[in-house]
Amino acid sequence: MSQISLRPSVLVVDDESFMRRTLCDALEEQGFMTVALESGPEALEWLDFNRPDLILLDVMMPVMDGFATCRNIRTHSEGVHIPVVMVTALEDTDSIFQAYQAGATDFITKPINHILMGQRLRYILRASHAFEGLRRSQRKVSEAQKIARFGNWEWELETDRMFLSEQIAQLFGMESADGGFEGTWEEFLGWVHPEDRPRLKMAVARNLKGEEPFDLDFRTRGDQGAERFFHCQGETAFNRLGRPTRVFGTFQDITERKRAEEKIRFLAYFDSLTQLPNRVFFAERLNYVLAYARRYSRRFALLFMDLDRFKLINDSLGHAVGDLLLQQVARRLESMLRHTDLIAPSGWSPEGGENERVVARLGGDEFTLWVSDIHRVEDVIKVAQRVLRAFSTPFRLREEEIFITPSIGIAIYPDDGEDVESLLKNADAAMYYAKERGRNNYQFYSEKMNAAASRMLELENSLHRAIERQELLLHYQPQFDLASGRVAGVEALLRWRLGGKELLQPDQFISLAEDTGLIVPIGEWALKEACRQLRDWEEAGLPVDRVAVNLSSRQFWNHKLSKSIANILRSTRLAPERLQLEITENILMEDTEGTVTLLRALKNMGVGFAIDDFGSGYSSLNYLRRFPVDFLKIDRCFITQLEAEKGNADIIAAITAMAHSLKLRVLAEGVETAAQLEYLRQVGCDEAQGYLLGKPLSPQDLAALLRSSPSI
């Protein structure tokens, strides 16, 4: 039997110089010798005087394609069987059938994993040399040698009896008295995976017509449902009249090799944390989607998604919890899409196609989703809305409920870009625009976003110097006690006098401050300024009991918060009970144990607490009992729609009753009509604020209001 040389030779035939060079470099690194030619005719002429160990043949070539070249090689090889491996981007059944019909030994699809390619070619060479030795050796000796290593099979055509050696029968999961298997051809096929039976039947049928010996891989399905992979080789014996009498060959169990290939492929193309396709898969697959769209003049959408304030979760709860959240996000995104729309790790093809929706993780908390072959923009909107709805319920992590939302940017091919880089860049820009619009929404890319992005960059640069330039200021909105009618307190509201001219409201820069981390020093400045101002009013004898200051989640979880507040109260000489800190429900729910500990520490100083925007989050009665808070501030959305939606009145009444049962006071914000104020008095609401009662005022204007002893 001939042996495989230490450096087997490979003839590479491809009309693209880059591909020839890439294949040759990869093969030579793995110990092969290579010769590179650029066309089928040139290869046939070279083969008249040379014999490589194996031929690597591209399918799509001008003048003579790979199928025609392979047929010519088989016709003129004069009994010498050289393995021919087709290299193609095609993986449909017709192309596979055409490749085998042309005499190909095997095929490899693009993109090519060069490590697996080298292993596969060596395996093909081993199989080819072994089979070539079998054909040249004497029949009795060669068959015995062949079955000794792999296990053999034989099908007697006249009696339709199928025989498998003991080793192979055991690997198939068959049971018989003598350890082997004997039955009909159809009984044997019952052990072959249903999807692979047609290929096996086709290979045998071609060989019965006198074609070349066949070899192929197929799966079996044992009595317990477990799949195994086998490599099958076979050929037909003919009598003197040329009639086939039997088909015989060998089986080799290649299950472990297949699993190793699958593991390598998974590591290369899928994210180990979330099991989703990774950035490499994304780039390669999207290129195929682009090619498909160009060829058939189709449109597709690329959605770029980022988790809002994910860094805060990592910083406050740790990276382990962050990883768990990313895994749950991945599962939720998968379940959101139809199962048939997803690319599963166990099977995928590199070509894009119609009606495809693939979700991938690019890294960190960035995910992408593309929707192929869209006909209307509404189709993309529906997908984006499904993503947003998927985040409407909390994530359960280590007995804690965590709420997180996505911001989504959308780019459409070819409107917003004609290559992967442009589409990804523009979808990313649209995603940041979605964050600027308040997060938890989707935005389409448009040219005006470039100007918006430039504006945000200018704002960020200016915000770094805002405190130093004394551009920040506080306005104060009065809060009235509904029983006495007098001013009970004021809420400090941040403003930014940009460049000493334009006055920016919080919704124009607070999210930017949070994203950049500047909210911490800005928040500390606001706390100190509010306490100083209240102390000045106190010394002036003005009647205001407390000042309320909002805390962002970044401020709240800053480990220096307690010390900072203590220093501010000491430096301003303000009594702690005259400072009220407002926090949202979502902050309370992020880490209940840590929240309780921090709240109690500040409460021990004498500082008061209010839950802001109550009713818009997910606080439970049980949690409220644990938190040492003083006020519930009913979210303004319930107040503004009080007269339009009767259900809101019931909600306000229920919140008020619940709060009072817990010894908490209730403040309603956003009061704009007399009817709203009257209803709040009827249900027993304790305090209120809003434009009906008083707009946010500068310190000087509020001082003038306080001197006039206002009441309602």
> By C-alpha distance, which of 246, 235, 7 is closest to 122?
7
Please write the tens of the pLDDT for every residue from 4-27. 456 899 999 999 998 899 999 999
Please write the tens of the pLDDT for every residue from 166-201. 777 777 777 654 556 888 999 888 888 888 899 889
Tokens, residue 490: 């004021």
User: Bigger pLDDT: 701 or 149?
Assistant: 701
**Dist. CA 371–CA 367, nearest whole Å:** 14
pLDDT value at residue 617: 56
**Dist. CA 445–CA 304, nearest whole Å:** 11
Q: Give the bridge partners for 667, in sequence order.
A: 633, 687
Q: Please name the residues in contact with 198: beta carbons below 8 A apart, sequence gap of 6 or more.
A: none
| Ranges of each domain in the chain | 9-136, 139-261, 275-446, 460-707
| Average pLDDT for 663-667 | 95
Q: Do domains 139-261 and 460-707 have the same CATH topology?
A: no
Confidence of residue 475 (pLDDT cuts 50, 70, 90): very high
User: β-strand 227-238 against 214-221: which pairing, if any?
Assistant: antiparallel
Q: How far is CA 310 from CA 191, 288, 556, 594, in A?
A: 50, 32, 16, 18
Burial class (CB in 10 A: 0-12, 13-18, 19+), 118: middle
pLDDT value at residue 339: 39
* % of the chain beyond a pLDDT of 90: 38
Q: Does the pLDDT value for residue 323 go beyond 80?
A: yes
pLDDT value at residue 150: 66
**Dist. CA 83–CA 95, nearest whole Å:** 18
Contact 173, 222 (CB under 8 A): yes
CB atoms within 10 A of CB 467: 15
pLDDT value at residue 99: 82
Stated pTM of the model: 0.48
Q: Does the pLDDT value for residue 158 go beyond 50?
A: yes
**Dist. CA 701–CA 535, nearest whole Å:** 16
pLDDT value at residue 138: 43
Q: For 49-85, b where at least 16 C-beta lie within 10 A, e where not — what string?
A: eeebbbbbbbbebeebbbbebbbbbbeeeeeeebbbb
Q: Does the pLDDT value for residue 354 go beyond 50?
A: no
Helix axes 519-539, 561-572, angle to 10 degrees: 30
Contact 208, 214 (CB under 8 A): no
| Average pLDDT for 603-632 | 81
| Average pLDDT for 409-423 | 90
> By C-alpha distance, which of 146, 151, 140 is closest to 213?
146
Question: Does the domain spanning 275-446 belong to CATH 3.30.70.270?
Answer: yes
Q: 3-class SS at 553?
A: helix
pLDDT value at residue 570: 96
Question: Does the domain spanning 460-707 belong to CATH 3.20.20.450?
Answer: yes
Give the containing element (helix H, strand E) for 172: helix 166-172
Angle at 410 between CA 408 and CA 416, to 5 degrees: 155
| CATH (residue range 9-136) | 3.40.50.2300
* % of the chain beyond a pLDDT of 70: 88
Amino acid type, 709: S
> By C-alpha distance, which of 112, 4, 97, 129 is closest to 58?
112
Tokens, residue 320: 């382990």
CATH for 139-261, options being 3.30.450.20, 3.30.70.20, 3.20.20.20, 3.40.50.410:
3.30.450.20
Contact 666, 631 (CB under 8 A): yes
User: How long is the chain?
Assistant: 712
pLDDT value at residue 176: 57
Q: How far is CA 147 from CA 39, 45, 249, 252, 662, in A?
A: 40, 38, 8, 10, 83
| Average pLDDT for 613-640 | 79
Give the containing element (helix H, strand E) for 490: strand 487-498
| Average pLDDT for 512-535 | 92
pLDDT value at residue 347: 38
pLDDT value at residue 641: 83
- Tell me if the bond preceding 414 is cis, omega within 30° of 0: yes
Q: Does the pLDDT value for residue 350 go beyond 50?
A: no
User: Bigger pLDDT: 437 or 490?
Assistant: 490
CB atoms within 10 A of CB 494: 23
Sequential DSSP letters for 282-312: HHHHHHHHHHHHHHHT-EEEEEEEEETTHHH
Where helices occur in 414-548 by DSSP H, the ranges are 420-436, 448-463, 510-516, 519-539
Q: What DSSP state is assigned to residue 648?
A: H
> By C-alpha distance, which of 269, 305, 302, 277 is closest to 419?
302
Q: Does the pLDDT value for residue 520 go beyond 90?
A: yes
Q: How far is CA 461 from CA 11, 452, 525, in A?
A: 60, 14, 18
